[in-house]
Amino acid sequence: MQVVSVKKALDGSVAPDTKVEVRGWVRTRRDSKAGISFVNVSDGSTFDPIQVVAPNSLSNYEADVLRLTAGCSVVCRGTLVKSQGKGQSFEVQADEVRVLGFVDDPDTYPIQPKQHSLEFLREVAHLRPRTNTFGAITRVRHTAAQAIHRFFHEEGFFWVNTPIITASDAEGAGQMFRVSTLDAVNPPRTDTGKIDWSKDFFGKEAYLTVSGQLNVEAYCLALSKVYTFGPTFRAENSNTTRHLAEFWMIEPEIAFADLNDDANLAERFLKYVFQAVLTECAPDMKFFEERQQKGVTERLEKFIQSSFERIDYTDAIEILKKAKKKFEYAPEWGNDLQTEHERYLAEEHVGRPVVVMNYPEQIKAFYMRMNDDGKTVAAMDVLAPGIGEIIGGSQREERLDRLDERMKKFGLHPEGYQWFRDLRRYGSVPHAGFGLGFERLIVYMCGLQNIRDAIPYPRVPGWAQF
Ligand code: 4AD
Ligand code: MG
Protein backbone atom coordinates (compact mmCIF):
# COMPACT_ATOMS: atom_id res chain seq x y z
CA MET A 1 0.00 0.00 0.00
CA GLN A 2 1.44 3.33 -1.08
CA VAL A 3 0.11 6.61 0.26
CA VAL A 4 0.05 9.00 -2.69
CA SER A 5 -1.05 12.56 -3.30
CA VAL A 6 -3.74 13.13 -5.88
CA LYS A 7 -1.11 14.91 -7.99
CA LYS A 8 1.14 11.83 -8.02
CA ALA A 9 -1.81 9.51 -8.63
CA LEU A 10 -2.86 11.53 -11.68
CA ASP A 11 0.46 12.53 -13.24
CA GLY A 12 1.61 9.04 -14.21
CA SER A 13 4.39 8.75 -11.63
CA VAL A 14 2.70 5.75 -10.00
CA ALA A 15 2.45 2.57 -12.09
CA PRO A 16 -1.08 1.39 -12.97
CA ASP A 17 -2.45 -1.45 -10.83
CA THR A 18 -0.52 -0.24 -7.76
CA LYS A 19 -2.41 -0.44 -4.46
CA VAL A 20 -2.70 3.12 -3.22
CA GLU A 21 -4.19 5.19 -0.44
CA VAL A 22 -5.45 8.69 -1.24
CA ARG A 23 -6.78 11.13 1.31
CA GLY A 24 -8.75 14.29 0.84
CA TRP A 25 -12.07 16.10 0.79
CA VAL A 26 -15.04 15.13 -1.32
CA ARG A 27 -15.93 17.49 -4.14
CA THR A 28 -18.86 15.63 -5.67
CA ARG A 29 -20.58 12.24 -5.57
CA ARG A 30 -22.58 10.61 -8.34
CA ASP A 31 -24.33 7.24 -8.04
CA SER A 32 -25.01 4.95 -10.98
CA LYS A 33 -28.03 2.69 -11.27
CA ALA A 34 -25.65 -0.25 -11.31
CA GLY A 35 -24.79 0.37 -7.64
CA ILE A 36 -21.50 2.18 -8.10
CA SER A 37 -20.69 5.61 -6.70
CA PHE A 38 -18.17 7.97 -8.27
CA VAL A 39 -16.63 10.19 -5.65
CA ASN A 40 -14.34 13.04 -6.67
CA VAL A 41 -11.71 13.62 -4.03
CA SER A 42 -9.34 16.59 -3.85
CA ASP A 43 -6.33 17.01 -1.58
CA GLY A 44 -5.18 20.35 -3.00
CA SER A 45 -1.93 18.91 -4.38
CA THR A 46 -3.06 19.63 -7.93
CA PHE A 47 -5.96 21.27 -9.72
CA ASP A 48 -7.97 18.15 -10.55
CA PRO A 49 -9.62 15.85 -8.04
CA ILE A 50 -9.23 12.10 -8.48
CA GLN A 51 -12.22 9.90 -9.14
CA VAL A 52 -12.73 7.16 -6.58
CA VAL A 53 -14.98 4.37 -7.82
CA ALA A 54 -16.84 2.87 -4.86
CA PRO A 55 -18.95 -0.26 -5.55
CA ASN A 56 -21.95 -1.27 -3.40
CA SER A 57 -20.00 -4.35 -2.34
CA LEU A 58 -18.15 -2.15 0.18
CA SER A 59 -19.35 -3.06 3.67
CA ASN A 60 -20.11 0.58 4.54
CA TYR A 61 -21.55 1.49 1.13
CA GLU A 62 -25.00 2.36 2.40
CA ALA A 63 -23.98 3.56 5.84
CA ASP A 64 -21.20 5.89 4.67
CA VAL A 65 -20.58 6.17 0.93
CA LEU A 66 -24.17 7.08 0.11
CA ARG A 67 -24.02 9.81 2.77
CA LEU A 68 -20.94 11.52 1.31
CA THR A 69 -21.44 15.16 0.40
CA ALA A 70 -19.13 18.01 -0.61
CA GLY A 71 -16.58 18.73 2.11
CA CYS A 72 -16.52 15.30 3.82
CA SER A 73 -13.01 14.05 4.58
CA VAL A 74 -12.12 10.53 3.43
CA VAL A 75 -9.29 8.02 3.25
CA CYS A 76 -9.65 5.74 0.24
CA ARG A 77 -7.70 2.58 -0.50
CA GLY A 78 -7.77 0.65 -3.70
CA THR A 79 -6.15 0.01 -7.05
CA LEU A 80 -4.92 2.84 -9.24
CA VAL A 81 -6.14 2.12 -12.77
CA LYS A 82 -6.13 3.92 -16.11
CA SER A 83 -9.49 5.60 -16.38
CA GLN A 84 -11.94 4.65 -19.14
CA GLY A 85 -13.89 7.87 -18.68
CA LYS A 86 -12.78 11.00 -20.45
CA GLY A 87 -11.37 13.94 -18.53
CA GLN A 88 -9.15 12.04 -16.17
CA SER A 89 -6.07 9.90 -16.61
CA PHE A 90 -6.31 7.62 -13.58
CA GLU A 91 -8.90 6.62 -11.02
CA VAL A 92 -8.97 4.55 -7.86
CA GLN A 93 -11.05 1.35 -7.78
CA ALA A 94 -11.82 1.42 -4.09
CA ASP A 95 -11.58 -1.55 -1.69
CA GLU A 96 -12.16 0.72 1.25
CA VAL A 97 -13.62 4.18 1.82
CA ARG A 98 -13.17 5.43 5.36
CA VAL A 99 -14.90 8.62 6.39
CA LEU A 100 -12.95 10.75 8.86
CA GLY A 101 -15.41 13.61 9.08
CA PHE A 102 -18.91 14.11 7.72
CA VAL A 103 -20.28 17.58 7.01
CA ASP A 104 -22.64 18.58 9.82
CA ASP A 105 -25.36 20.08 7.72
CA PRO A 106 -24.76 19.56 3.99
CA ASP A 107 -27.45 22.06 3.00
CA THR A 108 -25.76 24.94 4.80
CA TYR A 109 -22.16 23.95 4.00
CA PRO A 110 -20.93 27.16 2.31
CA ILE A 111 -18.84 25.52 -0.41
CA GLN A 112 -21.47 23.86 -2.59
CA PRO A 113 -20.41 22.19 -5.85
CA LYS A 114 -21.25 25.22 -7.97
CA GLN A 115 -19.60 28.49 -8.92
CA HIS A 116 -19.61 30.94 -6.02
CA SER A 117 -18.94 34.65 -6.42
CA LEU A 118 -15.57 35.84 -5.14
CA GLU A 119 -17.40 38.41 -3.00
CA PHE A 120 -19.26 35.62 -1.22
CA LEU A 121 -16.10 33.58 -0.78
CA ARG A 122 -14.38 36.49 1.00
CA GLU A 123 -17.03 36.08 3.71
CA VAL A 124 -15.87 32.49 4.26
CA ALA A 125 -12.12 33.00 4.05
CA HIS A 126 -11.57 29.90 6.21
CA LEU A 127 -13.36 27.61 3.75
CA ARG A 128 -12.54 29.23 0.42
CA PRO A 129 -9.23 27.32 0.13
CA ARG A 130 -11.42 24.32 -0.72
CA THR A 131 -12.58 25.87 -3.97
CA ASN A 132 -10.89 25.41 -7.35
CA THR A 133 -10.12 29.11 -7.51
CA PHE A 134 -8.40 29.43 -4.14
CA GLY A 135 -6.60 26.14 -4.50
CA ALA A 136 -5.16 27.44 -7.77
CA ILE A 137 -4.28 30.87 -6.35
CA THR A 138 -2.56 29.23 -3.38
CA ARG A 139 -0.45 26.99 -5.58
CA VAL A 140 0.52 29.90 -7.85
CA ARG A 141 1.40 32.02 -4.82
CA HIS A 142 3.60 29.26 -3.47
CA THR A 143 5.27 28.61 -6.81
CA ALA A 144 5.95 32.32 -7.35
CA ALA A 145 7.43 32.69 -3.85
CA GLN A 146 9.69 29.68 -4.42
CA ALA A 147 10.77 31.03 -7.81
CA ILE A 148 11.57 34.43 -6.28
CA HIS A 149 13.86 32.90 -3.68
CA ARG A 150 15.42 30.64 -6.32
CA PHE A 151 16.04 33.58 -8.68
CA PHE A 152 17.83 35.62 -6.06
CA HIS A 153 19.77 32.64 -4.76
CA GLU A 154 20.98 31.79 -8.27
CA GLU A 155 22.02 35.41 -8.80
CA GLY A 156 24.04 35.43 -5.57
CA PHE A 157 21.68 37.49 -3.40
CA PHE A 158 21.18 36.96 0.33
CA TRP A 159 17.71 37.02 1.88
CA VAL A 160 17.64 39.43 4.83
CA ASN A 161 14.77 39.33 7.33
CA THR A 162 14.10 42.96 8.09
CA PRO A 163 12.06 43.90 11.18
CA ILE A 164 8.30 44.15 11.23
CA ILE A 165 8.24 46.44 14.25
CA THR A 166 10.16 49.63 13.57
CA ALA A 167 10.62 53.25 14.57
CA SER A 168 11.39 54.57 11.06
CA ASP A 169 8.90 55.58 8.42
CA ALA A 170 10.69 54.04 5.45
CA GLU A 171 8.57 55.88 2.90
CA GLY A 172 8.19 59.11 4.86
CA ALA A 173 4.51 59.11 3.91
CA GLY A 174 2.98 58.88 7.39
CA GLN A 175 1.01 55.70 6.66
CA MET A 176 2.16 53.66 9.65
CA PHE A 177 0.12 51.59 12.09
CA ARG A 178 1.17 52.28 15.66
CA VAL A 179 2.21 49.41 17.92
CA SER A 180 1.76 50.13 21.58
CA THR A 181 1.14 48.44 24.92
CA LEU A 182 -0.34 51.60 26.42
CA ASP A 183 -4.01 51.89 27.30
CA ALA A 184 -5.51 53.29 24.11
CA VAL A 185 -8.35 55.13 25.88
CA ASN A 186 -6.48 56.52 28.88
CA PRO A 187 -2.76 56.48 28.08
CA PRO A 188 -0.36 57.72 30.76
CA ARG A 189 0.48 61.38 30.21
CA THR A 190 3.37 63.66 31.07
CA ASP A 191 2.92 66.87 33.09
CA THR A 192 2.38 68.73 29.84
CA GLY A 193 -0.42 66.38 28.81
CA LYS A 194 1.48 64.52 26.07
CA ILE A 195 1.35 60.72 25.88
CA ASP A 196 4.16 59.37 28.05
CA TRP A 197 5.91 56.95 25.71
CA SER A 198 8.55 56.13 28.33
CA LYS A 199 5.86 53.96 29.95
CA ASP A 200 5.36 51.99 26.73
CA PHE A 201 6.95 48.57 26.12
CA PHE A 202 9.60 49.99 23.78
CA GLY A 203 9.96 53.28 25.65
CA LYS A 204 9.17 55.14 22.45
CA GLU A 205 6.65 55.15 19.65
CA ALA A 206 6.86 52.05 17.47
CA TYR A 207 5.09 51.10 14.27
CA LEU A 208 4.52 48.28 11.83
CA THR A 209 6.91 48.59 8.91
CA VAL A 210 5.77 50.04 5.57
CA SER A 211 8.88 48.71 3.81
CA GLY A 212 12.07 46.86 4.68
CA GLN A 213 14.13 49.00 2.34
CA LEU A 214 16.03 51.19 4.80
CA ASN A 215 17.05 48.21 6.90
CA VAL A 216 18.05 46.15 3.89
CA GLU A 217 20.18 49.02 2.57
CA ALA A 218 22.43 48.52 5.60
CA TYR A 219 22.94 44.88 4.62
CA CYS A 220 23.41 45.83 0.97
CA LEU A 221 26.31 48.07 1.98
CA ALA A 222 28.08 45.02 3.39
CA LEU A 223 26.87 41.98 1.45
CA SER A 224 26.41 43.77 -1.91
CA LYS A 225 23.36 41.86 -3.19
CA VAL A 226 20.46 41.34 -0.79
CA TYR A 227 16.67 41.24 -0.71
CA THR A 228 13.78 41.26 1.70
CA PHE A 229 10.58 39.28 1.27
CA GLY A 230 8.12 39.79 4.06
CA PRO A 231 4.91 41.39 5.28
CA THR A 232 4.47 45.16 5.19
CA PHE A 233 1.64 47.34 6.47
CA ARG A 234 0.05 50.57 5.30
CA ALA A 235 -2.62 52.63 6.96
CA GLU A 236 -3.77 54.13 3.68
CA ASN A 237 -7.10 53.97 1.92
CA SER A 238 -7.31 50.31 1.04
CA ASN A 239 -10.94 50.42 0.00
CA THR A 240 -9.82 49.74 -3.54
CA THR A 241 -9.20 46.66 -5.66
CA ARG A 242 -5.43 47.35 -5.61
CA HIS A 243 -4.64 48.09 -1.97
CA LEU A 244 -4.32 46.01 1.17
CA ALA A 245 -3.48 47.18 4.69
CA GLU A 246 -1.21 44.13 5.03
CA PHE A 247 0.70 42.87 2.01
CA TRP A 248 3.94 41.10 1.21
CA MET A 249 6.74 42.90 -0.51
CA ILE A 250 9.89 41.80 -2.32
CA GLU A 251 12.69 44.37 -2.16
CA PRO A 252 16.09 43.65 -3.70
CA GLU A 253 18.96 46.08 -3.14
CA ILE A 254 22.22 46.08 -5.12
CA ALA A 255 25.47 47.91 -4.37
CA PHE A 256 27.80 49.47 -6.96
CA ALA A 257 24.73 49.84 -9.14
CA ASP A 258 22.73 52.59 -10.83
CA LEU A 259 19.19 52.92 -12.16
CA ASN A 260 20.00 51.01 -15.36
CA ASP A 261 21.31 48.06 -13.39
CA ASP A 262 18.14 48.23 -11.33
CA ALA A 263 15.91 48.13 -14.43
CA ASN A 264 17.89 45.20 -15.83
CA LEU A 265 17.43 43.31 -12.59
CA ALA A 266 13.68 43.96 -12.59
CA GLU A 267 13.41 42.66 -16.15
CA ARG A 268 15.30 39.42 -15.48
CA PHE A 269 13.41 38.94 -12.23
CA LEU A 270 9.86 39.28 -13.60
CA LYS A 271 10.57 37.06 -16.59
CA TYR A 272 12.04 34.35 -14.37
CA VAL A 273 9.04 34.29 -12.04
CA PHE A 274 6.47 34.30 -14.85
CA GLN A 275 8.28 31.45 -16.59
CA ALA A 276 8.32 29.39 -13.41
CA VAL A 277 4.59 29.81 -12.89
CA LEU A 278 3.76 29.00 -16.53
CA THR A 279 5.88 25.86 -16.36
CA GLU A 280 5.02 24.61 -12.88
CA CYS A 281 1.36 25.65 -12.61
CA ALA A 282 0.09 24.78 -16.08
CA PRO A 283 -3.27 23.28 -14.94
CA ASP A 284 -3.93 26.23 -12.64
CA MET A 285 -3.09 28.73 -15.36
CA LYS A 286 -5.43 26.91 -17.75
CA PHE A 287 -8.20 27.39 -15.20
CA PHE A 288 -7.48 31.14 -14.83
CA GLU A 289 -7.47 31.43 -18.59
CA GLU A 290 -10.93 29.86 -18.78
CA ARG A 291 -12.54 31.29 -15.68
CA GLN A 292 -10.82 34.53 -14.69
CA GLN A 293 -9.36 36.28 -17.69
CA LYS A 294 -8.99 35.13 -21.25
CA GLY A 295 -5.50 35.83 -22.60
CA VAL A 296 -3.78 35.85 -19.22
CA THR A 297 -1.29 33.11 -20.16
CA GLU A 298 -0.54 34.68 -23.51
CA ARG A 299 0.08 37.98 -21.76
CA LEU A 300 2.74 36.33 -19.59
CA GLU A 301 4.28 34.52 -22.54
CA LYS A 302 4.53 37.78 -24.50
CA PHE A 303 5.96 39.52 -21.45
CA ILE A 304 8.73 36.94 -21.22
CA GLN A 305 9.58 37.30 -24.90
CA SER A 306 9.69 41.09 -25.07
CA SER A 307 12.52 43.37 -24.10
CA PHE A 308 11.47 46.25 -21.89
CA GLU A 309 11.21 49.70 -23.44
CA ARG A 310 12.76 52.54 -21.42
CA ILE A 311 11.25 56.00 -21.50
CA ASP A 312 12.22 59.09 -19.59
CA TYR A 313 9.35 60.49 -17.51
CA THR A 314 9.66 63.85 -19.31
CA ASP A 315 9.37 62.12 -22.70
CA ALA A 316 6.47 60.02 -21.41
CA ILE A 317 4.54 63.20 -20.57
CA GLU A 318 5.15 64.50 -24.10
CA ILE A 319 3.98 61.19 -25.61
CA LEU A 320 0.83 61.29 -23.49
CA LYS A 321 0.11 64.90 -24.37
CA LYS A 322 0.38 64.08 -28.08
CA ALA A 323 -1.77 60.96 -27.78
CA LYS A 324 -5.14 60.96 -29.54
CA LYS A 325 -6.68 59.14 -26.60
CA LYS A 326 -8.84 61.16 -24.19
CA PHE A 327 -7.63 60.70 -20.64
CA GLU A 328 -9.72 61.31 -17.56
CA TYR A 329 -6.75 63.17 -16.05
CA ALA A 330 -4.72 65.37 -18.37
CA PRO A 331 -1.03 64.40 -18.22
CA GLU A 332 1.05 67.22 -16.75
CA TRP A 333 4.77 67.41 -15.96
CA GLY A 334 5.10 67.29 -12.17
CA ASN A 335 2.14 64.98 -11.56
CA ASP A 336 2.35 61.25 -11.00
CA LEU A 337 1.22 59.06 -13.88
CA GLN A 338 -2.30 57.69 -13.52
CA THR A 339 -3.07 54.05 -14.30
CA GLU A 340 -4.73 55.13 -17.57
CA HIS A 341 -1.49 56.86 -18.60
CA GLU A 342 0.63 53.89 -17.59
CA ARG A 343 -1.56 51.47 -19.51
CA TYR A 344 -1.54 53.67 -22.59
CA LEU A 345 2.25 53.73 -22.59
CA ALA A 346 2.62 49.96 -22.15
CA GLU A 347 -0.31 48.77 -24.25
CA GLU A 348 -0.84 51.29 -27.01
CA HIS A 349 2.37 53.26 -27.33
CA VAL A 350 4.88 50.39 -27.34
CA GLY A 351 2.86 47.21 -26.79
CA ARG A 352 5.25 45.70 -24.24
CA PRO A 353 6.54 46.38 -20.74
CA VAL A 354 7.90 49.88 -20.20
CA VAL A 355 10.28 51.28 -17.61
CA VAL A 356 9.60 54.96 -16.96
CA MET A 357 12.64 56.66 -15.46
CA ASN A 358 13.60 59.94 -13.79
CA TYR A 359 10.47 61.30 -12.15
CA PRO A 360 10.02 64.82 -10.74
CA GLU A 361 11.63 64.90 -7.32
CA GLN A 362 8.57 66.34 -5.54
CA ILE A 363 6.41 63.24 -6.17
CA LYS A 364 8.97 60.66 -5.09
CA ALA A 365 10.34 59.44 -1.75
CA PHE A 366 13.10 61.22 0.20
CA TYR A 367 15.74 58.51 -0.29
CA MET A 368 15.82 58.71 -4.09
CA ARG A 369 18.94 60.07 -5.76
CA MET A 370 18.77 63.63 -7.10
CA ASN A 371 19.71 63.89 -10.77
CA ASP A 372 22.08 66.57 -12.08
CA ASP A 373 19.16 68.57 -13.51
CA GLY A 374 18.09 69.35 -9.93
CA LYS A 375 14.48 68.61 -10.88
CA THR A 376 14.23 64.85 -11.21
CA VAL A 377 15.28 61.84 -9.17
CA ALA A 378 16.65 58.50 -10.38
CA ALA A 379 13.35 56.67 -9.88
CA MET A 380 11.78 54.02 -12.07
CA ASP A 381 8.41 52.35 -12.41
CA VAL A 382 7.95 49.17 -14.42
CA LEU A 383 4.64 49.31 -16.30
CA ALA A 384 3.07 46.06 -17.42
CA PRO A 385 0.48 45.74 -20.20
CA GLY A 386 -2.93 45.10 -18.71
CA ILE A 387 -2.29 46.60 -15.28
CA GLY A 388 0.17 49.53 -15.26
CA GLU A 389 2.74 49.97 -12.49
CA ILE A 390 3.91 46.67 -11.10
CA ILE A 391 7.33 47.59 -9.69
CA GLY A 392 8.64 50.83 -8.20
CA GLY A 393 12.31 51.43 -7.52
CA SER A 394 15.18 53.89 -7.53
CA GLN A 395 18.84 54.58 -7.23
CA ARG A 396 19.37 55.73 -3.66
CA GLU A 397 20.84 59.05 -2.58
CA GLU A 398 24.29 58.00 -1.39
CA ARG A 399 25.58 61.57 -0.75
CA LEU A 400 24.98 62.66 2.83
CA ASP A 401 24.54 66.38 2.12
CA ARG A 402 21.94 65.71 -0.58
CA LEU A 403 20.13 63.21 1.58
CA ASP A 404 19.96 65.72 4.43
CA GLU A 405 18.54 68.33 2.06
CA ARG A 406 15.85 65.98 0.87
CA MET A 407 14.91 64.84 4.37
CA LYS A 408 14.57 68.47 5.38
CA LYS A 409 12.29 69.12 2.41
CA PHE A 410 10.10 66.17 3.49
CA GLY A 411 9.96 67.44 7.08
CA LEU A 412 11.76 64.33 8.38
CA HIS A 413 13.92 64.78 11.49
CA PRO A 414 17.49 63.54 10.95
CA GLU A 415 17.59 62.31 14.59
CA GLY A 416 15.25 59.46 13.71
CA TYR A 417 17.43 58.45 10.78
CA GLN A 418 20.96 58.69 12.25
CA TRP A 419 21.69 55.05 11.56
CA PHE A 420 20.53 55.50 7.96
CA ARG A 421 22.73 58.61 7.63
CA ASP A 422 25.68 56.59 9.00
CA LEU A 423 25.51 54.41 5.90
CA ARG A 424 26.38 57.57 3.93
CA ARG A 425 29.18 58.49 6.33
CA TYR A 426 31.01 55.19 6.36
CA GLY A 427 31.98 53.81 2.97
CA SER A 428 29.00 55.00 0.98
CA VAL A 429 28.58 53.59 -2.54
CA PRO A 430 26.04 54.03 -5.34
CA HIS A 431 23.25 51.53 -4.82
CA ALA A 432 19.75 50.87 -6.09
CA GLY A 433 16.75 48.66 -5.53
CA PHE A 434 13.07 48.18 -6.11
CA GLY A 435 9.89 46.99 -4.45
CA LEU A 436 7.29 44.62 -5.81
CA GLY A 437 3.98 44.07 -4.07
CA PHE A 438 3.61 40.28 -4.05
CA GLU A 439 -0.20 40.40 -4.23
CA ARG A 440 -0.09 42.77 -7.22
CA LEU A 441 2.06 40.16 -8.93
CA ILE A 442 -0.46 37.42 -8.10
CA VAL A 443 -3.34 39.55 -9.41
CA TYR A 444 -1.44 40.04 -12.65
CA MET A 445 -0.46 36.42 -13.13
CA CYS A 446 -3.87 34.96 -12.29
CA GLY A 447 -5.94 37.64 -14.03
CA LEU A 448 -7.80 38.52 -10.81
CA GLN A 449 -9.98 41.60 -10.47
CA ASN A 450 -9.47 42.25 -6.77
CA ILE A 451 -6.30 42.10 -4.67
CA ARG A 452 -8.35 40.73 -1.75
CA ASP A 453 -8.34 37.39 -3.54
CA ALA A 454 -4.55 37.31 -3.88
CA ILE A 455 -3.80 36.89 -0.16
CA PRO A 456 -5.25 34.18 2.11
CA TYR A 457 -6.66 36.56 4.73
CA PRO A 458 -7.06 40.12 3.42
CA ARG A 459 -6.70 43.00 5.90
CA VAL A 460 -8.77 45.96 4.76
CA PRO A 461 -10.68 48.80 6.44
CA GLY A 462 -13.51 47.43 8.53
CA TRP A 463 -12.01 43.93 8.51
CA ALA A 464 -13.72 41.94 11.23
CA GLN A 465 -12.82 38.26 11.43
CA PHE A 466 -10.45 35.41 10.52
O1 4AD B 1 6.03 52.16 -4.35
P2 4AD B 1 6.22 51.66 -2.95
O3 4AD B 1 5.60 52.44 -1.86
O4 4AD B 1 7.79 51.55 -2.76
C5 4AD B 1 8.43 51.16 -1.62
O6 4AD B 1 7.91 50.77 -0.60
C7 4AD B 1 9.93 51.16 -1.79
N8 4AD B 1 10.54 51.07 -0.43
C9 4AD B 1 10.35 50.01 -2.66
C10 4AD B 1 11.81 49.91 -2.87
O11 4AD B 1 12.36 50.64 -3.67
N12 4AD B 1 12.49 49.03 -2.14
O13 4AD B 1 5.71 50.16 -2.85
C14 4AD B 1 6.31 49.14 -3.62
C15 4AD B 1 5.27 48.23 -4.21
C16 4AD B 1 4.32 48.91 -5.19
O17 4AD B 1 4.85 48.95 -6.49
C18 4AD B 1 3.12 47.99 -5.12
O19 4AD B 1 3.32 46.87 -5.95
C20 4AD B 1 3.13 47.51 -3.69
O21 4AD B 1 4.42 47.71 -3.19
N22 4AD B 1 2.16 48.21 -2.82
C23 4AD B 1 1.01 47.67 -2.37
N24 4AD B 1 0.45 46.46 -2.59
C25 4AD B 1 -0.74 46.20 -1.98
N26 4AD B 1 -1.38 47.05 -1.16
C27 4AD B 1 -0.86 48.28 -0.91
N28 4AD B 1 -1.49 49.10 -0.08
C29 4AD B 1 0.40 48.64 -1.53
N30 4AD B 1 1.19 49.72 -1.50
C31 4AD B 1 2.25 49.45 -2.28
MG1 MG C 1 4.74 53.49 -5.71
Closest CA to 51 of 95, 96, 103, 93: 93
Please report the ipTM that was assigned to this predicted complex: 0.98
Q: Which domain holds residue 257?
A: 132-174+210-453
CA distances from 150 to 16, 136, 159, 189, 437 (A): 34, 21, 11, 50, 18
Residues 143 and 53 in one domain: no
Select from 101, 117, 142 the last residue of a domain. Answer: 101
Beta carbons of 279 and 272 less than 8 angstroms apart: no
User: What gap in Å lies between CA 168 and CA 100, rounded to an integer?
Assistant: 50
Enumerate the β-bridge partners of residue 38: 30, 53
Residue 41 is assigned to a structural domain of this protein: yes
Closest ligand 1 atom to Cα of 251? 12
At residue 463, the pLDDT reads 83
At residue 244, the pLDDT reads 95
Residue 82 is assigned to a structural domain of this protein: yes
Beta carbons of 346 and 353 less than 8 angstroms apart: yes
Output Rg (C-alpha) for the chain, integer angstroms: 27
Residues 71 and 146 in one domain: no
CATH code, domain with 84: 2.40.50.140
User: What gap in Å lies between CA 347 and CA 384, rounded to an integer?
Assistant: 8
Residue 160 is assigned to a structural domain of this protein: yes
Residue from 265, 391, 440, 463 whose mutation best tests the ligand 1 pocket (most atoms within 8 A of CB): 440
Q: Is 171 in the pocket of ligand 1 (CB under 6 A)?
A: yes
User: What gap in Å lies between CA 81 and CA 91, rounded to an integer?
Assistant: 6
At residue 466, the pLDDT reads 83
Beta carbons of 458 and 452 less than 8 angstroms apart: yes
Residues 225 and 95 in one domain: no
Residues 33 and 137 in one domain: no
User: What gap in Å lies between CA 172 and CA 205, rounded to an integer?
Assistant: 15
Residues 72 and 14 in one domain: yes
Closest ligand 1 atom to Cα of 243? 26
Closest C-alpha residue for ligand 1 atom 6: 211
Q: Which ligand is nearest to the CA of 441?
A: 1
Percentages helix, strand, coil for the chain (3-state, rounded to 5) are 35, 25, 40
Residue 401 is assigned to a structural domain of this protein: yes
DSSP state of 52: E
H or E stretch covering 85: none
Residues 255 and 399 in one domain: yes
User: What gap in Å lies between CA 127 and CA 430, rounded to an integer?
Assistant: 48
At residue 414, the pLDDT reads 86
Closest CA to 114 of 83, 145, 154, 70: 70
Q: Is 247 in the pocket of ligand 1 (CB under 6 A)?
A: yes
Q: What phi and psi values does residue 345 have, to the nearest 5 degrees?
A: -60, -45
At residue 437, the pLDDT reads 97
Closest CA to 387 of 353, 350, 425: 353
Select from 53, 79, 101 the last residue of a domain. Answer: 101
Beta carbons of 248 and 231 less than 8 angstroms apart: yes
Q: What is the pLDDT along the chain (466 residues), one digit of tens a residue?
A: 999 999 999 999 999 999 999 999 999 999 999 999 999 999 999 999 999 999 999 999 999 999 999 999 999 999 999 988 776 789 999 999 999 999 999 999 999 988 999 999 999 999 999 999 999 999 999 999 999 999 999 999 999 999 999 998 999 888 999 999 999 899 999 999 999 999 999 999 999 999 999 999 999 999 999 999 999 999 998 889 999 999 999 999 999 999 999 999 999 999 999 999 999 999 999 999 999 999 999 999 999 999 999 999 999 999 999 999 999 999 999 999 999 999 999 999 999 999 999 999 999 999 999 999 999 999 999 999 999 999 999 999 999 999 999 999 999 888 889 999 999 999 999 999 999 999 999 999 999 999 999 999 999 998 878 8
Beta carbons of 363 and 334 less than 8 angstroms apart: yes
CATH code, domain with 421: 3.30.930.10
Residues 95 and 164 in one domain: no
Q: Is 388 in the pocket of ligand 1 (CB under 6 A)?
A: no
Q: Is 438 in the pocket of ligand 1 (CB under 6 A)?
A: no
Query: What is the strand order of the sheet 246-255 is part of?
Result: 158-159, 225-233, 246-255, 431-437, 388-395, 376-384, 354-360, 309-312
Where does residue 256 fall: left (phi above 0), alpha (psi -120 to 50 degrees), or beta otherwise? left
SS3 assignment, position 292 = coil
Residues 39 and 91 in one domain: yes
Residues 146 and 15 in one domain: no
Residue 110 is assigned to a structural domain of this protein: no
Beta carbons of 19 and 4 less than 8 angstroms apart: no
Closest CA to 302 of 264, 355, 354, 352: 352
Closest CA to 249 of 155, 308, 162: 162
Please count the CA atoms within 13 angstroms of the CA of 224 that sit on its side-chain side.
Answer: 3
Beta carbons of 283 and 289 less than 8 angstroms apart: no
Residues 313 and 255 in one domain: yes
Beta carbons of 81 and 22 less than 8 angstroms apart: no
Closest C-alpha residue for ligand 1 atom 30: 243
Q: Give the chain's end-to-end CA distance (angstroms, integer).
A: 38
Residue 190 is assigned to a structural domain of this protein: no
Beta carbons of 254 and 17 less than 8 angstroms apart: no
Please count the CA atoms within 13 angstroms of the CA of 360 that sit on its side-chain side.
Answer: 12
The number of domains in the chain is 2
User: What gap in Å lies between CA 85 and CA 394, rounded to an integer?
Assistant: 56
User: Which pTM value belongs to this model?
Assistant: 0.96
Concatenated DSSP letters of 179-215: E--S-SSS--B-TTSSB-GGGSTTSS-EEE-S-SHHH
User: What gap in Å lies between CA 46 and CA 29, rounded to an integer?
Assistant: 19
Residues 94 and 148 in one domain: no
Residue 459 is assigned to a structural domain of this protein: no
Report the separation in Å between the CA atom of 232 and the middle of ligand 2, taken as the mean of its atom positions: 14
CA distances from 327 to 123, 233, 314, 332, 384 (A): 36, 32, 18, 12, 18
Residue 349 is assigned to a structural domain of this protein: yes
Report the separation in Å between the CA atom of 403 and the middle of ligand 1, taken as the mean of its atom positions: 21
Select from 82, 101, 120 the last residue of a domain. Answer: 101
Residues 53 and 142 in one domain: no
